[in-house]
Structure 1
Amino acid sequence: MLKYFSPLTLFVLGWLLLLNIPMFQTISLTNGIAQLILFALVVCLPAWKTGRLSYVDIGWPLGLAVIGITCLLLAEGDSLRKGVVSFVYLFIGLRMGLGAIKMWRAGAFKKEFPRYQFQRRRWEKSGKTNTMLVIQVDAILQGLANASFLAVPAFIISANPNPSYSVLEILGLLLWFAAFIMESVADKQKHQFLRDMKQRGEKNKVCNVGLWRYSRHPNYFAEWMVWNALVIAAIPSLLALFSSMPFVSWALLGAALIYASYIMYNTLVFFTGAIPSEYYSVQKRPEYKAYQQTTNMFFPGPVKSSSSAEEGTA
């Protein structure tokens, strides 16, 4: 049974860290309970009934909105700083969450999304044969991520009472806006490409237009930069809180802040992002292997010629 529940350990420790820092006790307890209730009703129960993990796509972003609401109501820092970070979490969460609900209403959740089908391959390789149990554990893990590391940037920023603002905070906010624009443009270019292919009667073509010429997953990269922007914006507030808690707690809080970026990178590349997507794209799109040779997977970069790509793999 240990192999089923061990992935939860680090996230439980992250939540306990927040609960043991006096200024975060109330807000982290409230957020944690709210996340567990949300995931129990929106993810765990439907997943138990249907055997599908895709409901995480509704619960996880709505959980981000819960973080925003919790900070807005309970945080005791500067009101403008608290309002801005609360808005960011609410915006990110409701944008994705309401979009997922729209898909659910359209019937998209009647079958498991490919990225969660890919998860089953991982479970089989690791010897996790009790599918219903591992689905529940993975769902709870997402809720604990919202209760712990993904809430850390918001909690740190909204706890800072300093009425003056750092250049680093402004740069973080500008980076967040630029990353959001990049993600929106990438999504729009992908949708336009699919519409054009449908009008032409073409199927299973590779989207390599616009931002997709420089990264095979520019939307995932931009989403990661959204979280990096929050981490950057939180650094001045972390420094401002140095004298408010024991050094060990402060250092662990800083490590948790950095780990939030790692979690999102790991998720967007390996867990439910690029790797699962490409597993199916290679099978579905005949030209995708050539696309892989000429275009970076995650980080945007110059287009490589086919000859140089062949030399690099020789």
Structure 2
Amino acid sequence: MLTESALRDFLLVNLGVQFVVFVGAACIPGWRTLRMSYVDIAWPWGLVALGVLTLAMSDRSPLAIAVAVVFLVMGGRMGIAALALWRHGELDHELPRYRFQRKRWAKATLGSERLDLVAEILVQAVSNVTVMAVPAALVIGIDGAGMSAVAAAGMVLWAVSWVLESVADLQKLRFVRSMSTTNSRGHCDVGLWNYSRHPNYFFQWMQWNAIIVLCLPVLRRAFDEFTPVAAIGACLGLFALSAIMYWCLVFYTGAVPAEYYSAQKRPGYRDYQARTNRFMPGFRRENASAGDTVG
């Protein structure tokens, strides 16, 4: 997409901004403390930066404003939550999903724990520079993008998914607080968690799918206004967003790493795995046994 002059300035500015955010918020504290959890601060605030750049560098068409709002709200919500965790000392120890990463480093290490850690952090920085930036690049590179029926449907899908992700997180928070008051340990299977073991991850994934729908009208215009190489790159990047986020939320830093430790320390969790879908919501399987695992 750098071959398109209308996109080049944004892509290069975003590269510099994301570098500053990730180095300052994650790489430096991670190098000093050997904790990767600081990336949970850098990544969402990198999304906020994408929203700010979209407003600053676009013509502020209705579609550009919509994309900017999505980035600002999604990133701001997760970023504020991450800062709250940091303030309450939750980042003073490594989060379980990042402890799991060290098991992967043992199979493919760069020879130093610090180098492995910084490399993992920069992988997430690269996502904010490449596929995550495609929706912003499209509305910045194409002027006068209005809200069509398809774009409006994408915005509705995003709003509903954002609300349901927030509901799932609130249900989990209430459950954790109830467990702490009774000094007990269990697994959350209330509300949306009765239909999916990770409803918050599922509805976050649906938000990225909604962004793809939101950008479909402007993607069509890209094949008229961009060079063929840039248009094809934008198309591949936009649709890769769904696949990459699914892989990340299920296998990379999401469900699989989280469940590795939950199955070891939470009573009844293996039975919960057998009866409840891992990602896609669905009805529970009452005839499943604890030896089974529902994907």
TM-score, length basis structure 1: 0.88
In the alignment, which residue of structure 2 is the partner of 1:168? 150
Is this contact kept in 1: 2:153–2:214, CA < 8 A?
yes
Q: For 2:245 and 2:115, locate their aligned partners in 1 and report how far apart those are by CA, in whole Å.
A: 24
In the alignment, which residue of structure 2 is the partner of 1:196? 178
Where has structure 1 moved over 4 Å in runs of 4 or more? 307-313
In the alignment, which residue of structure 1 is the partner of 2:263? 282
- Aligned: 1:116 with 2:98: yes
Give the length in aligned residue pairs.
294
- Per-residue CA deviations over 1:155-210 (Å, capped at 9, x if unaligned) read 213433345432110110000001011101111111122222333x2522121111
Is this contact kept in 1: 2:186–2:268, CA < 8 A?
yes
Q: CA deviation at 1:295?
A: 0.4
Letter of the aligned partner of 1:152 in structure 2? V
For residues 240-251 of structure 1, what are the structure 2 equivalents within 5 Å?
240-251=221-232
Q: CA deviation at 1:252?
A: 2.1
Q: CA deviation at 1:309?
A: 8.1
Cα gap change, 1:308 to 1:286, in 2 (>3 Å): closer
Is this contact kept in 2: 1:217–1:274, CA < 8 A?
yes
Give the root-mean-square deviation of aligned CA atoms: 1.9
Q: For 1:165 and 1:93, locate their aligned partners in 2 and report how far apart those are by CA, in whole Å.
A: 22
Is this contact kept in 1: 2:64–2:145, CA < 8 A?
no
Q: For 1:307 and 1:99, locate their aligned partners in 2 and report how far apart those are by CA, in whole Å.
A: 36
In the alignment, which residue of structure 2 is the partner of 1:49? 32
Cα gap change, 1:117 to 1:309, in 2 (>3 Å): closer
In the alignment, which residue of structure 1 is the partner of 2:64? 82
In the alignment, which residue of structure 2 is the partner of 1:27? 10
Q: Which of the numbers 188, 199, 204 marks the counterpart of 1:207?
A: 188
TM-score, length basis structure 2: 0.94
User: Any gaps of 5 or more consecutive residues in structure 1?
Assistant: 1-17
User: Percent sequence identity over matched residues?
Assistant: 39
Cα gap change, 1:163 to 1:28, in 2 (>3 Å): closer
Q: For 1:312 and 1:283, locate their aligned partners in 2 and report how far apart those are by CA, in whole Å.
A: 14
In the alignment, which residue of structure 2 is the partner of 1:5? none
- Per-residue CA deviations over 1:107-141 (Å, capped at 9, x if unaligned) read 11111111110000011023444211111111122
Q: For 1:190 and 1:269, locate their aligned partners in 2 and report how far apart those are by CA, in whole Å.
A: 18
User: Any gaps of 5 or more consecutive residues in structure 2?
Assistant: none
Q: For 1:271 and 1:251, locate their aligned partners in 2 and report how far apart those are by CA, in whole Å.
A: 27
